[in-house]
Amino acid sequence: MLIHLECTRCGEHYPADRPQTVCSKDGGVLYARYDLPAIKKAFSPGRLAGRAPTMWRYDAVLPAADPVSLGEGFTPMLPSREFPNVYIKDEGLNPTGSFKARGLSACVTMAKYFGLKKLAIPSAGNAAGALAAYSAAAGLEAHIFMPKDVPQANRIECDYYGAHVNLIDGLISDCAKKVAELKAGESWSKDGWFDVSTTKEPYRVEGKKTMGYEVAEQLGWRLPQGIIYPTGGGVGLLGMWKAFEEMEALGWISPGKPGSERPKMITVQSAGCAPVVKAWEEGKPSAEMWTNAATLASGLRVPKPYGDYLILDILKKSHGTAVSATDDEILEATRHWARTEGIFAAPEGAACLVAYRKLRASGFFKPEDTVVLFNTGNGLKYLDVLDASVARAPSPATTAANPAVRHIGGIIGPY
């Protein structure tokens, strides 16, 4: 049912029967386009019942290739214990502990289908782990280019999955430069190399769009009023918006019917690297390269997302907004979620809580609005980062109310 790929800038069509990167005319991101009227006739949400709880349950709207799957997707939609009408979509329960599993499952599936051999990725960390795992499952080579200060878990998992790991002294943008250098070399096409960078190939978006289908299905085919999404490369935001568009064309949701209005899409970024927030506030259609990007939320350390023009367009069309959170706010929220929700989130995910609080305080969201917050990863992948930040945090002053030690049932406990 996949008919062609379409440039999101100029609308040019490209055949979907071979590997494609970006539009050769203007560098635009390519989207997979399906024969939606035919799918509408052949498939309906009722047929999802009894299907495996993975993202491949939506294979009617995914490319027809034998999936390289580790059980990704269909993650829990947990009602917040703190805020009524708020849900936490816990993507930390995916294989490799992050939402990156979805995009890379789809991407590696297609790479295998096309007979590619060596997959290169510049990554802030979690995408590297996911590419390494899915490449191992597919019997393909993963070549990882990531900043040398990524969370330890990302480096170690890639090594264990048997990937070729290149640690770069710089940011993800510097890693992307390394991949570009490699691309210019002779062996690139000869040896079956392929660049699976965010939005520079069409299928990671397809994997991530399943989050949009899931949000709808798990809320009983009603869309929430808002979705807060930590935005580095922004693929999930693009993917979910694409899913809502497809669901309307398929008649799975009906515009005008209560519960079918598109959600306000909210980007949250770290104050230490907030190119989309800055562009949004300045009313610009694309972002500028953020200089001296620094944040403990490594997944948000993306100085300029390639799909920035699409992200900003979606924020505008959806009447959404963009919010930033400082590292201190993010750390506090990570701890708060762990204590109040029982969810040990990735710092990027916890940034959603900071954004939600700010948007409630400003009146942007009302208590009765249904809002979905995306926890994009598992806190267990950030142990070194979180541990170091605890050590850095100033210890609270010792006072009578806050003693250095406290007696608990006759035992002296450290405080």
13 in contact with Zn ion (CB under 5 A)? no
Q: Which helix (H) or strand (E) element contains residue 145?
A: strand 141-147
CA distance 230 to 174: 22
Least Å distance, CB 27 to Zn ion, is 7
Amino acid identity of 261? E
Stretch that binds Zn ion, among 3-11, 59-67, 202-210, 365-373 (CB under 5 A): 3-11
SS3 assignment, position 90: strand
Contact residue for Zn ion among 26, 82, 281, 328 (CB under 5 A): 26
For residue 64, state whether it binds Zn ion (rule: CB under 5 A): no
Q: Closest distance between Zn ion and the C-beta of residue 200, in Å?
A: 13
User: DSSP 3-state assignment of 79?
Assistant: strand
Of 1, 3, 9, 170, which one interacts with Zn ion (CB under 5 A)? 9
Q: Which helix (H) or strand (E) holds 181?
A: helix 172-184
Q: How far is the CB of 29 from Zn ion (least distance, A)?
A: 9
How buried is residue 227: exposed, middle or buried, by Cβ count under 10 Å (0-12/13-18/19+)? Answer: buried
Query: For strand 141-147 and strand 118-122, is the pairing parallel, antiparallel, or unpaired?
Result: parallel
Sign of CA dihedral 295, 301, 304, 307: negative
Contact of 6 with 12, CB cutoff 8 Å: yes
Shortest Å distance, C-beta 5 to Zn ion: 10
In the set 2, 5, 6, 7, which binds Zn ion (CB under 5 A)? 7
| Cβ proximity to Zn ion, 13 vs 392, nearer residue | 13
- Contact range with Zn ion by CB under 5 A, out of 28-36, 71-79, 317-325, 393-401: 28-36
12 binds Zn ion (CB under 5 A): yes
Nearer to Zn ion, 10 or 64 (CB): 10
Q: Which stretch binds Zn ion (CB under 5 A): 18-26, 154-162, 172-180, 333-341?
A: 18-26
In the complex, minimum distance from the CB of residue 28 to Zn ion, in angstroms, rounded to a whole number: 4
| One residue of 16, 22, 23, 266 binding Zn ion per CB under 5 A | 23
- CA distances (Å), 413 to each of 117, 393, 397, 406, 407, in order? 56, 20, 17, 6, 6
Q: Which residues contact 106 (CB under 8 A, 6 or more apart)?
A: 55, 62, 63, 203, 204, 206, 207, 208
Tell me the window of 19-27, 55-63, 69-77, 95-103 that interacts with Zn ion (CB under 5 A): 19-27
Closest contact distance (angstroms) between CB of 14 and Zn ion is 9
Closer to Zn ion by Cβ: residue 22 or 265: 22
Segment near Zn ion (CB under 5 A); pick from 22-30, 134-142, 218-226, 340-348: 22-30
Residues binding Zn ion: what is the number (CB under 5 A)?
8
Shortest approach of Zn ion to residue 202 CB, angstroms?
Answer: 13
> Which region among 11-19, 101-109, 146-154, 171-179 touches Zn ion (by CB under 5 A)?
11-19
For 315, the token pair is 């924020």
> Rule CB under 5 A: is residue 25 a binding residue for Zn ion?
yes
Q: Rounded CA gap, 179 and 320, in Å? A: 34
Does residue number 261 form part of the binding site for Zn ion (CB under 5 A)? no
Give the single-character DSSP code of 115. T
> Minimum distance from CB of 307 to Zn ion (Å)?
13
Task: Confirm or reject binding of residue 10 to Zn ion (CB under 5 A).
Answer: yes
Q: Does 28 bind Zn ion (CB under 5 A)?
A: yes
Beta-bridge partner residues of 165: 144
DSSP secondary structure letters along 253-313: S-TTSTT-SPPEEEEEEETTB-HHHHHHHTT-SSPPPPTT---S-GGG--SS-TTHHHHHH
Is residue 62 involved in binding Zn ion (CB under 5 A)? no
Is the four-CA dihedral 103, 251, 14, 305 of positive or negative sign? negative
Q: Decide: is 24 part of the binding site for Zn ion (CB under 5 A).
A: no
Q: Which residues bind Zn ion (CB under 5 A)?
A: 7, 9-10, 12, 23, 25-26, 28
